[in-house]
Every structure is written in C-alpha cells, then in structure tokens.
Amino acid sequence: MRQEKSKPLLEDMHAWLLRERETLSRSSEVLKPMNYMLRRWDDFGRFLDDGRICLTNNCAERALRGIALGRRNWTFAGSQRGADRAAIMLTMITTCRLNEVDPKAWLADVLARIADLSTSHLHELLPWEWKLLGQAGKPAGQQAA
C-alpha cells in the first residue's frame, strides 16, 4: 500500500520542493527548512520500503505524554545538560519497553557489567542484544517464544 499510495505522493512532493526552491531568493525564510528536508530525503522516505517504520510520530508522542504531562517536575530539567541526560535515560527506558525488556533489570545489569566490558562488546548491552543474549543463556525450556 505504501508503494502504491504513498510513493507517488512522495515523488510529487520531492519534485515540487525542487521546483519551488528554485523560485526562492537566498534570503527566503522558507529556504532553510526546504533544504533541511531535501538533504534528509532518503531518510524521510525510508518508510516506503520498511513496514516497521511508522508513518507518524504518534507512538513517540504517546510514550512521552506520560512523562511530560504526568509529573510537574519533568517540566524543567534545570539545565541543558540535565535535559540531555533526561532525554537519554527516557530514550533508553522507552527502547527497553519497545523491546519487551524490563528497564530496571536491564539498567542494573548494564551498570554492573559495563566497566569490565571491552568496547568491542558494548553493543551486547543494547536492549535488543541484551535480551537475545539473556535468552540464549537460559535452558531451552525457559526461553521466550
């Protein structure tokens, strides 16, 4: 359906952006966002070939809603550095949940192991890898389906 219905629309939009960009002056305020979009066009259109990619960011918005609206103390992080740290932690927690990994168990294990792990094995601590390695280490009858 994406190839049939979305791809022609995306191709038309790309052609339109290129045409319209040529008519704008270099000082136009709209030129910067258009160039931003065109530089990332392949990434923008990746959803056409990968059905796992959602057409909207609704899932991400819903995931953040519980944090942003649920507790007043998240309204202000105190500083840019604090906001960056909060964003990183929330991203990791949400990534765990999307991969059906208990965030507390994952974080406890990562903190216990990371100091002794070589950089070539750090990828094993990513939630989806961590889950697979944990399942591989269980007896056959305990592995998740």
92 burial type by CB count under 10 A (0-12 exposed, 13-18 middle, 19+ buried): middle
The amino acid at residue 74 is W
Take residue 54 and report the two structure tokens written for it.
């959602």
Q: Which band of pLDDT confidence, cut at 50, 70 and 90, is reported for residue 64?
A: low
Instruction: Quote the pLDDT of residue 67.
Output: 62
CA distance 81 to 44: 29
Give yes or no for a contact between 127 and 92, defined as CB atoms under 8 angstroms apart. Answer: yes
85 or 5: whose pLDDT is higher? Answer: 5
Q: Which band of pLDDT confidence, cut at 50, 70 and 90, is reported for residue 34?
A: very high
Give yes or no for a contact between 51 and 1, defined as CB atoms under 8 angstroms apart. Answer: no
Judge whether residue 38 has pLDDT over 80: yes
The amino acid at residue 127 is P
Mean pLDDT over the full length of the chain: 84
For residue 28, the SS3 value is: coil
5 or 64: whose pLDDT is higher? Answer: 5
Take residue 15 and report the two structure tokens written for it.
């052609």
Q: What is the mean pLDDT of residues 8-36?
A: 95
Give yes or no for a contact between 71 and 90, defined as CB atoms under 8 angstroms apart. Answer: no
Instruction: Quote the pLDDT of residue 15.
Output: 97
Instruction: Quote the pLDDT of residue 145.
Output: 38
Question: pTM of the full predicted structure?
Answer: 0.49
CA distance 46 to 36: 16
Instruction: Quote the pLDDT of residue 61.
Output: 75
CA distance 7 to 4: 6
Q: What is the mean pLDDT of residues 31-50?
A: 93
